[in-house]
Copies of this chain bind each other. A is one copy, B any other.
Amino acid sequence: MPVGQQQNHHQVPTYPPPESEDEESWLWSQIKAEARRDAESEPALASYLYATILSHPSLARSLSFHLANKLCSSTLLSTLLYDLFLGSLSAQPSVRAATVADLLAARHRDPACSCFSHCLLNYKGFLAVQAHRVAHLLWLQQRQPLALALQSRVADVFAVDIHPAARLGRGLLLDHATGVVIGETAVVGNNVSILHHVTLGGTGKAVGDRHPKIGDGVLIGAGATILGNVRIGEGAKIGAGSVVLIDVPPRTTAVGNPARLVGGKEKPARHE
């Protein structure tokens, strides 16, 4: 369907972008158009939107500026953080691609997300994940003290605590995000949705590889606690408030405390 036609129906830009265009450039042009529209309709936000979006030549610079402002302190200066974020994003196209996938995920999967710039500016789950990607690069470069300082600032500012060694996929949606804790040896696949208060933690009885492994396309409901080196199969759903101490097969739903399997491959489907 032509872009113009769909825009007329929904009053929002289409996504995903046409394959003939560069995805990052397309998304950045959408974000700037949204920011221009909002700056015109809301003069109280104009200088904020100019400083965070419209004055920047790229998504990487806009995001680096915004994160640096959110995470800086009297001892970790915004200039240091800006250089750090921009350096990482500039050097790593795969990190920028993950950012783009996260913005598309919020727009697709969160009914309350009506424009990309809203996610870029306001979603602390999105911002915490972008900061984590940079902290993870620092961790891999043996710059642990800086990676841990960054983790700590994100935990203070966004109440999201992701260990810099944790490995996260792309297309990740951390909705609301307050209280999310993801441990050192956790692995999260692509296109995963994680609600607030979710823990991917250890059982306290193990050292080494002791945190959950989350498959592609998993949905983890608010307040779910997944503990230990368990495997949550692709497309599985974990109910809100569940306490999961066992493997969950692909495309299966687990609910309760302790969690039991209630649908999917292993059990007759009831939730899908």
Contact = CB atoms under 8 A, between A and B. Distances in A.
17 contacts: A41-B145, A48-B149, A70-B73, A112-B163, A112-B183, A118-B148, A121-B149, A156-B157, A161-B196, A179-B197, A197-B199, A199-B222, A199-B240, A222-B227, A223-B223, A223-B225, A256-B257
A255 B225 CA distance: 13
Contacts of A201: 195, 222, 240
B156 A70 contact: yes
Contacts of A69: 73-75
Nearest to A225: B240
A182 to B, nearest CB: 10
Interface stretch (A10-18, A19-27, A56-64, A202-210): A202-210
A240 B227 contact: yes
A98 B171 CA distance: 41
Given A145-B38, A163-B112, A257-B241, A181 B196 contact: yes
A118 B222 CA distance: 30
A51 interface: yes
Interface of A: 38, 41-42, 44-45, 47-48, 51-52, 69-70, 73-76, 78, 80, 84, 111-112, 118, 121-124, 143, 145-146, 148-149, 151-152, 155-159, 161, 163, 176, 178-179, 181, 183-184, 193, 195-197, 199, 201-202, 204, 207, 210, 219, 221-223, 225, 227, 239-243, 255-258
B111 A202 contact: yes
A90 to B, nearest CB: 16
Given A201-B240, A227-B240, 16 more contacts: A44-B80, A48-B149, A51-B75, A52-B75, A111-B184, A111-B210, A122-B148, A122-B152, A124-B156, A155-B176, A178-B181, A179-B179, A193-B204, A197-B199, A204-B219, A221-B227
